Chain A
């Protein structure tokens, strides 16, 4: 699509954004439900706006795994934020890109004139993923319902198999398993490592660097988008708690491969962390910017979604960002800064390798040859999901928001935030700082 067509789309501005600290899942459920995190981050963000929560046209929240009592969590959080009964709220789910999808859905509504001012973001509290009854147990319960007499109920209890009772299905593992090809997400990343010959050393180096970048960014005060959250006991959580100041190659070498046990290369340490967190952006039309005298951080120029082999879902960014850049006549070099979500160290390295691989670019992307490379100092400059954490639904929103801050800090203009999506998808957004 030529540039001229694009300019017909009215611009959509990001006027502000905030996120909770990303809290690494420890043993057992974390201190906050997903809606708690979204509410606390959202109310701090709304408080500093010149408009009231009731002035929003809608609230869109991406969430991959809301808890059973958070049905339509987007609406629930809109109400908890005090937006009032009349502001619609809804929930989107595009797995790891749910937060990015929320932004894209907001853009769609703004561009077709349905909304002027939208709160969009993503959230997940993976530490609260449920344990489920196995099919055996579900059938046992269903049969129990059919037993009318005390005697028949008693006899039914004799059929109860303790082993089935004591082996729940781990909801989180289900969520992190591809439902079509049956691979764990980590196994799809092992596929990329195998395909592009990425070794354990490279992955571990990447992971250590991610931690070091995040630490130095924190020290420099580059995570201004974080707002502290407080639990009911008055305890404050102010920083991402998965970032390790002591990250080192020695430490990184210790854990064993997690997904392909014994023979694999991908460990818990060179993967993104299981984390709870929420991230929000305020999106506005030009009219809303003027009406409320807003000072935008930047604008979202264009979005692209792409599909690919679920067994190689980690290459989603390559498949989404490439056509996005081509549409605007841009190469990898023309982008000032990148946020490429770090689902796995091997997966980011796989994306970089794919763009440099002439065969892959020819066969999969229809390019004449290799697309190019991204300079190291332009990519995930403040760390990524390996160090900061990956609360699935929140990550897509976080990287868009953080990218805008990176661009502004460096007086740069153009950036791409892109993310791989379990199930074989990629999402990418082209943004410009204001």
Chain B
């Protein structure tokens, strides 16, 4: 066998180790699954006292199905075959006469978790990397290999639907608490625990009565509630998969093969194809900086405002030691407070929170720059101020240190003039809110040192963001495409359409937030300045000028296009959206994206799509603006 190793131990336990040939991580390709069927054949002839399924990879258990296979499902038969392949195999695993156990260490996702769910016991190893979930919905499909049946049986339908509909993952402790894992143990005892648990004869902890009712006669109650939740997040015309998951569970007990029409519809939906495309785009972004062995240990951030403070906190959360510089301690305090809140939310364990706070060091004198591997400037947008800063900074830097600016509106070419080595300055441009936005633009001006750009990309990967290399140009990619889009939206308001209607048109298009609400969030003054810079000299919208004159600057001032006094935009009913409004409003964004590709600001159309999706939230189910344009013709 190529991918599986079988080891029979004294006492008759067989350990089946999956170590997919030629890959760093395990995935359930057709070949891997066919081999596993052979494993089951062999064991059927000569039944062991128990079977342990584990991974031979350092990365984790199983990352899921082989997503490359999804791109080859060109006929309905192939789609159904794919579903049947796992459904049948895991049903077979679930019905073997001997006890089975999945030893889960590292990621165990999608098909991997469905494999584990088909085992009698699920043993989770308590390590930071251990993550379990059924994220199929994020690829526009459903967990068709038994997950929709077995997860609700194990943890109850409410929790199961929550996992399947959001695609979120849980760690080992949580898995034990929810009843997904039978035990959660540290790695040092996992081998003993696996063997003891396997032969324990222990029955499954029964679901509470209420959950059993909800997974039986009262399914319709849960299904109705789940649909109501999903409607708030995803429209069925954009994202059919979550609705299909609810239906398949409620009507067919999770057996997708009982509803072949649904299988065909979902697997061949443009959404699924496009989300798979987005997945591969994301993988491509993750590849930037890979060939570079730069690894930062200390980061120095200058400017403790919203961006600088949040960048610092994010780097700390990702394990780095960060010195955060500003003129006074008082200016740094709000950032420390926000960081503490972020750590508390993300880390939970008091020792880890304390460790994170220890690694975020306020630095009024700027001494941290001397020791830093990466220095990020995030002070206010003034060429003079940044010049003064860079002049003082450069002699202090370590030789190989990355010197970066988080500027969004100034030209790197202008900023670097004061440097003895101007080629070392790169842009590392984060988006607000830093903890939520996955994309970071890595900006290279003409003549930038390729090694510095590489190192910047590697750093962005190190802190678990997606680097997008872009050339220096006003607004880079993301802001440059957003500006004409927001202006078009405001011009629509000038033409007499309500802000609510404009926003609704774009929500219906699939945007995560309406453009007018986005302007309010960004700040009207910022939008006006950005518009002047990025709109090719077009007239600013009247509604924007008027609002700014009246001091209505958006969310931050309590009022912009909307009233924000409650902390949320008070919106009236949107009313009827004029036909084609959404398409019309998105047109300038697409046109600008095309132009930026043509100008070489971003290397190719796919990367542009990736950048716009991960940087703006542009409707992922469309596959990105240029893909959307191409498909629409």
Residues of A near any B CB (own CB < 8 A): 39, 43-44, 47-48, 50, 52, 80-82, 228, 230, 232-234, 236, 238
Chain A's closest residue to B340 (CB) is A232
Query: Chain A residues near B361 (CB, 8 Å)?
Result: 43-44, 47
Q: Are A47 and B337 in contact (CB under 8 A)?
A: no
Greatest chain B CB density within 10 A among A48, A80, A232, A233 is at A232
Q: Are B323 and A47 in contact (CB under 8 A)?
A: yes
Kindly state the separation between the CA atoms of A230 and B362 in the bound complex, as whole angstroms: 9
Q: Are B337 and A234 in contact (CB under 8 A)?
A: yes
Q: Are B363 and A47 in contact (CB under 8 A)?
A: yes
Question: Which of chain B's residues 357-408 have a Cβ closer than 8 Å to chain A?
Answer: 357-359, 361-363, 365, 367-368, 370-371
CB of A311, distance to nearest CB on chain B (Å): 42
Interface size class of B (residues with CB under 8 A): 20 to 34
Contact partner, B358, options A48, A82, A228, Cβ 8 Å: A82
Greatest chain A CB density within 10 A among B354, B357, B358, B368 is at B358
Q: Are B333 and A236 in contact (CB under 8 A)?
A: yes
Tell me if A's interface is mostly helix, strand, loop or mixed. Answer: loop
In the A-B complex, list the 6 residue pairs whose CB atoms are closest, starting with the nearest. A234-B337, A48-B367, A234-B333, A47-B367, A80-B358, A232-B340
CB of B202, distance to nearest CB on chain A (Å): 27
Q: Are A43 and B358 in contact (CB under 8 A)?
A: yes
Query: Chain A residues near B6 (CB, 8 Å)?
Result: none
Query: Chain B residues near A233 (CB, 8 Å)?
Result: 337
Kindly state the separation between the CA atoms of A233 and B333 in the bound complex, as whole angstroms: 9
Given A80-B358, A82-B358, verify A230-B371 contact (CB < 8 Å). no
Chain A's closest residue to B370 (CB) is A50
Interface status of B443 (Cβ within 8 A of chain A): no
Query: Chain B residues near A43 (CB, 8 Å)?
Result: 358, 361
Given A47-B363, A47-B367, verify A228-B329 contact (CB < 8 Å). yes
Query: Chain B residues near A50 (CB, 8 Å)?
Result: 370
Contact partner, B336, options A80, A234, A238, Cβ 8 Å: A234
Question: Which of chain B's residues 215-267 have a Cβ closer than 8 Å to chain A?
Answer: none
CB of A258, distance to nearest CB on chain B (Å): 36
Interface status of B321 (Cβ within 8 A of chain A): yes
Interface status of B330 (Cβ within 8 A of chain A): yes
CB of B575, distance to nearest CB on chain A (Å): 45
Query: Chain B residues near A81 (CB, 8 Å)?
Result: 358
Query: Chain A residues near B333 (CB, 8 Å)?
Result: 230, 234, 236
Query: Chain A residues near B340 (CB, 8 Å)?
Result: 232, 234
Query: Chain B residues near A80 (CB, 8 Å)?
Result: 354-355, 358
Contact partner, A230, options B336, B367, B370, Cβ 8 Å: B336
Question: Which of chain B's residues 281-332 have a Cβ closer than 8 Å to chain A?
Answer: 321, 323, 329-330
Query: Chain B residues near A238 (CB, 8 Å)?
Result: 329
Kindly state the separation between the CA atoms of A186 and B452 in the bound complex, as whole angstroms: 64
CB of A68, distance to nearest CB on chain B (Å): 15
Q: Are A82 and B359 in contact (CB under 8 A)?
A: yes
Kindly state the separation between the CA atoms of A39 and B321 in the bound complex, as whole angstroms: 14
CB of A34, distance to nearest CB on chain B (Å): 13
Q: Are A39 and B368 in contact (CB under 8 A)?
A: no
Interface status of B206 (Cβ within 8 A of chain A): no
> 24 interchain pairs (CB within 8 A)?
A39-B358, A43-B358, A47-B361, A47-B363, A47-B367, A48-B365, A50-B370, A80-B354, A80-B355, A80-B358, A82-B321, A82-B358, A82-B359, A230-B329, A230-B333, A230-B336, A230-B362, A232-B340, A232-B357, A234-B336, A234-B337, A234-B340, A236-B330, A236-B333
Query: Chain B residues near A234 (CB, 8 Å)?
Result: 333-334, 336-337, 340
Kindly state the separation between the CA atoms of A230 and B334 in the bound complex, as whole angstroms: 11
Query: Chain A residues near B354 (CB, 8 Å)?
Result: 80
Query: Chain B residues near A47 (CB, 8 Å)?
Result: 323, 361, 363, 367-368
Query: Chain A residues near B357 (CB, 8 Å)?
Result: 232
Query: Chain B residues near A82 (CB, 8 Å)?
Result: 321, 358-359
Provide the B337-358 mask, 1 if CB < 8 A to any CB of A, else 0: 1001000000000000011011
Chain B's closest residue to A82 (CB) is B321
Chain B's closest residue to A51 (CB) is B371
CB of B396, distance to nearest CB on chain A (Å): 11
Greatest chain B CB density within 10 A among A52, A81, A234 is at A234
Kindly state the separation between the CA atoms of A25 and B442 in the bound complex, as whole angstroms: 50
CB of B177, distance to nearest CB on chain A (Å): 25
- Other than A48-B367, A234-B333, give 9 A-B pairs with Cβ distance below 8 A: A44-B361, A47-B367, A47-B368, A52-B371, A80-B355, A82-B359, A230-B333, A230-B336, A232-B357
